[in-house]
Amino acid sequence: MQVLHKEDFIQNISYDSVIFGFNGKQLKILVLEYHNTGLFALPGGFVRKDESLDEAVKKGVKERTGLDHIYLEQFQTFGNLTRSDPSVMKRILEENNLDLDVHDWLLDRFISISYYALINYDKVTPVPDALSDSISWYAIDELPALMMDHNQIVNRALQVLRNNLEKKLVGMNLLPSKFTMKQLQKVYEVVLGEELRRTTFQRRILGMNMLERHEKLFQGTAHKAPYLYSFKLEQD
Amino acid sequence: MQVLHKEDFIQNISYDSVIFGFNGKQLKILVLEYHNTGLFALPGGFVRKDESLDEAVKKGVKERTGLDHIYLEQFQTFGNLTRSDPSVMKRILEENNLDLDVHDWLLDRFISISYYALINYDKVTPVPDALSDSISWYAIDELPALMMDHNQIVNRALQVLRNNLEKKLVGMNLLPSKFTMKQLQKVYEVVLGEELRRTTFQRRILGMNMLERHEKLFQGTAHKAPYLYSFKLEQD
DNA sequence: TATTATTGTCTCAATTTGTGACAATAATAT
DNA sequence: ATATTATTGTCACAAATTGAGACAATAATA
């Protein structure tokens, strides 16, 4: 088990990440389960004294997903005194046979900077961190109880994601590079949590002039084949 | 001169605040000037180990403005390695005759959580902090060069403020409790940085059903007197 | 060759927004 | 008293956007 040396990290600072993926039907996020504790948590970590905040988070998300060049956005910093719970942290350290003296700094109070990531579900190979049994996808509306304020962090991430749906091209990061109009509509629907009207959606999206049309996709289904689209790199 | 004892504060963490006020014509922010250095900066501070992040910021903004119960919103955390500049910080400490040994932790790298505040310009009595000569209002488009990345922080605050203009009732916090439609329109115009059409604006705002109409305001001017409005506390 | 489900597009209605017009009015000038 | 002036509140109509349904095109299957 690797040791987290106090002198390498900024004290009282951590980050948490809400990593969104889309399996074609549901919006999901990655959740860790700690060894022998029944405790669920968001992937997170600490910031080294000699690295920038963004670097630290990018590195951490890459370790959990295997993916580089990910869409990452910082959305809120949580700094309550009550959010940290030393007894929970102590239990996690004990169950992992970590030296409590060396890691006492982890029992302290933490201010956590939260990020969300959007990733292509099919390209991810989730890897648990050193303290965890597993890392798995959970549908956003079927989450287990998470430790500390992590459920609150997820809710906030969702709010911000909804808000950014139009201007930040959320779909671009959750879909493969070529996709049908129906797939894109489904992304909008699961993020917004409501159904959208097909014709209006199609007209609106095409009207934005952000999509490029490609060849048709023959799915082997008994109906008209849809076009494939990709996002234009240059907006005109 | 008061001493900032290292053991009282979380290390490597600071906050900065962009305090917006509206004088009826321009959007302004409060800027500090440090003793004998020609250095300008945003009001900021540090977080004590036994206080929440929000408390720390609230307290700091109150000290600079004299105002309690202020509209405060966190908008971004800045964590680059390059944003901190020990040589600048050293100069400020020296010019204030502060013991460099006791305050060496201030020369370290800082991650800063940024907030913006909206306040009623006429009710503020700006008070410089211990290290500063002055604290003054500067129009948002006539800012001096600020130290470190503070100009960048202001720009980001403005972006977020524009984004929140509709949903967060920005006007409510920048205006007195009763105001004319023209005053409200002016707030929208200076925040957005563009002129708005009077009739469309009035119809849109009234259509939101968020304003209450009161008596007319007789200004002693040679034309029809406008109504006064206030924001409804309860949205229907 | 008919059937089926889905897609792309069109049309018309409903709603929202842009733009100008106009009467009402609070002080001032005549 | 009366006309003048600048601004306000509201209306009317045009333009643009969105809602809702209709319909032909079509890729596989019966």
Give B139-152 pLDDT, tens digit per residue.
999 999 999 999 99
- Distance in Å, alpha carbon of B26 to nearest chain A alpha carbon: 28
Residue A1 lies in a domain: no
Considering chain B, what percentage of its residues have pLDDT values greater than 70?
98
Instruction: Please check whether residues B89 and B149 belong to one and the same domain.
Output: yes
Q: A229 falls in which pLDDT band (50, 70, 90)?
A: very high
- Distance in Å, alpha carbon of A171 to nearest chain B alpha carbon: 21
* Counted domains in chain A: 2
Of B143, B164, B185, the last residue of a domain is B164
pLDDT at B233: 78
The burial class, CB within 10 Å (0-12 / 13-18 / 19+), for A26 is middle
Instruction: Please check whether residues B159 and B206 belong to one and the same domain.
Output: no
Distance, Å, A198 CA → C5 C1' = 15
Test B52 with A12 for CB contact under 8 angstroms.
no
* Minimum CA–C1' distance nucleotide for B207: C16
By C-alpha distance, the chain B residue nearest A113 is B77
- pLDDT 10s digits, A113-168: 999 999 999 999 999 998 898 999 999 999 999 999 999 999 999 999 999 998 88
- One-character DSSP codes across A37-104: T--EE--EEEEETTS-HHHHHHHHHHHHH---S-EEEEEEEE--STT--HHHHHHHHHHTT--TTTTG
Please compute the mean of the pLDDT values over residues B49-68 and round it to a whole number.
97
- pLDDT 10s digits, A26-38: 999 999 999 989 9
Of B112, B141, B164, the last residue of a domain is B164
Please compute the mean of the pLDDT values over residues A193-214 and round it to a whole number.
95
Instruction: Please check whether residues A200 and A154 belong to one and the same domain.
Output: no
- pLDDT 10s digits, B151-202: 999 999 999 999 999 888 888 899 999 999 999 999 999 999 999 999 999 9
- One-character DSSP codes across chain B: -----GGGEEEEEEEEEEEEEE-SS-EEEEEEEETTT--EE--EEEEETTS-HHHHHHHHHHHHH---S-EEEEEEEE--STT--HHHHHHHHHHTT--TTTTGGGGS--EEEEEEEE--GGG------TTEEEEEEEETTSPPPBSTTHHHHHHHHHHHHHHHTTTTTHHHHHS-SSB-HHHHHHHHHHHHTS---HHHHHHHHHHTT-EEEEEE---S-SSPPPEEEEE-SS--
Instruction: Please check whether residues A145 and A68 belong to one and the same domain.
Output: yes
Instruction: Please check whether residues B115 and B22 belong to one and the same domain.
Output: yes
Residue A17 has a CB neighbour count (10 Å cut-off) of 26
Instruction: Please check whether residues A193 and A120 belong to one and the same domain.
Output: no
Residue A75 lies in a domain: yes
Whether pLDDT at B135 is above 80:
yes
pLDDT at B236: 46
Test A111 with B79 for CB contact under 8 angstroms.
no
Domain of A27: which CATH number? 3.90.79.10
Whether pLDDT at A2 is above 80:
no
Complex-level ipTM:
0.92
Test A77 with B80 for CB contact under 8 angstroms.
no
- Residue B194: CB less than 7 A from any atom in strand C: no
Distance, Å, A217 CA → D30 C1' = 23
pLDDT at A1: 59
Instruction: Please check whether residues B221 and B109 belong to one and the same domain.
Output: no
Test B53 with A80 for CB contact under 8 angstroms.
yes
pLDDT at B2: 76
**A148-152, B2-6, B60-64, B107-111: least confident range:** B2-6
Please compute the mean of the pLDDT values over residues B6-18 and round it to a whole number.
98
Q: How many beta-carbon pairs below 8 A join chains A and B?
A: 57
Instruction: Please check whether residues A195 and A214 belong to one and the same domain.
Output: yes
Of B144, B164, B184, the last residue of a domain is B164
Distance, Å, B225 CA → D8 C1' = 7
Which residue numbers of B have CB closer than 8 Å to A's CBs? 10-13, 47, 49-54, 74, 76-81, 109, 111, 113
CB B11 within 8 A of CB B110: no
pLDDT at A3: 87
Instruction: Please check whether residues A158 and A205 belong to one and the same domain.
Output: no
pLDDT at A236: 47
Distance, Å, A199 CA → C18 C1' = 26
Q: A80 falls in which pLDDT band (50, 70, 90)?
A: very high
Name the residue among A13, A51, A74 with its Cβ closest to that of B13.
A13
Name the residue among A50, A76, A81 with its Cβ closest to that of B74.
A76
The residue count for chain B: 236
Whether pLDDT at B48 is above 50:
yes
Domain of B151 in residue numbering reads as 6-164
Q: How far is CA A184 from CA A173, A211, B5, B129, in A?
A: 11, 11, 55, 52
- Distance in Å, alpha carbon of B76 to nearest chain A alpha carbon: 7
Test A53 with B109 for CB contact under 8 angstroms.
no
Residue B66 lies in a domain: yes
Interface test with B, best of A7, A47, A52 (most B CBs within 10 A): A52
Distance, Å, A186 CA → D20 C1' = 20
Test A80 with B52 for CB contact under 8 angstroms.
yes
Please compute the mean of the pLDDT values over residues B100-113 and round it to a whole number.
97
Residue B1 lies in a domain: no
Name the residue among B12, B51, B54 with its Cβ closest to that of A10.
B12
Test A81 with B10 for CB contact under 8 angstroms.
no
Residue A227 lies in a domain: yes
Whether pLDDT at A73 is above 50:
yes
Domain of B224: which CATH number? 1.10.10.10
pLDDT at B234: 63
Whether pLDDT at A171 is above 90:
no
Residue B140 lies in a domain: yes
- pLDDT 10s digits, A90-124: 999 999 999 999 999 999 999 999 999 999 999 99
